[in-house]
Amino acid sequence: MSRVSPEFGTVIKDFLARNKLTFRAAGFKSNISAAYWKDMADGRVPSEDMISKMAESFDELDEQELRAAAGYVPIPGRVDAVRAVEFALRGQKSIPEEGKSQILDFVRRVEEKYVEKG
């Protein structure tokens, strides 16, 4: 865990607060140490394997959301088009927020029209 992502730390803090979990309680349920949970809440990015382990331990944690917040590429086949485009647009500083919003609206409309809901 050498990279830092404030966004990842926020996701972890919000998850713990919403579920009224301490670092120790999260560690007990996930078999990941309380110290590791604290590091993640501080924004330290874990490995992709650790993210999978976290998502397997808690139904409330979405693996794709964790991966995106950590800066990892979404797992192909497990992410919808809107989330994939959101991820791709994150690093595009040259596109204004209004433009990003328009792109996402377009992708949503296309998905509604062409993607079968199963």
Q: What is the pLDDT of residues 92-108, one digit of tens each?
A: 889 999 999 999 999 99
Residue 5 has pLDDT above 60, yes or no: yes
What pLDDT, on a 0 to 100 scale, did the predictor assign at position 78? 66
Task: List the domain range (segments joined by +) for residue 99.
Answer: 81-114
| Co-location of 101 and 51 in the same domain | no
Task: Give 26-85 pLDDT, tens digit per residue.
Answer: 999 999 999 999 999 999 999 999 999 999 999 999 898 899 899 888 787 666 778 778
Of the candidates 69, 57, 54, the residue with the CA atom closest to the CA atom of residue 11: 69
Are 90 and 58 in the same domain?
no
pLDDT above 70 (res 117) = no
Note whether 21 and 65 are same-domain residues.
yes
Q: Are residues 63 and 86 in the same domain?
A: no
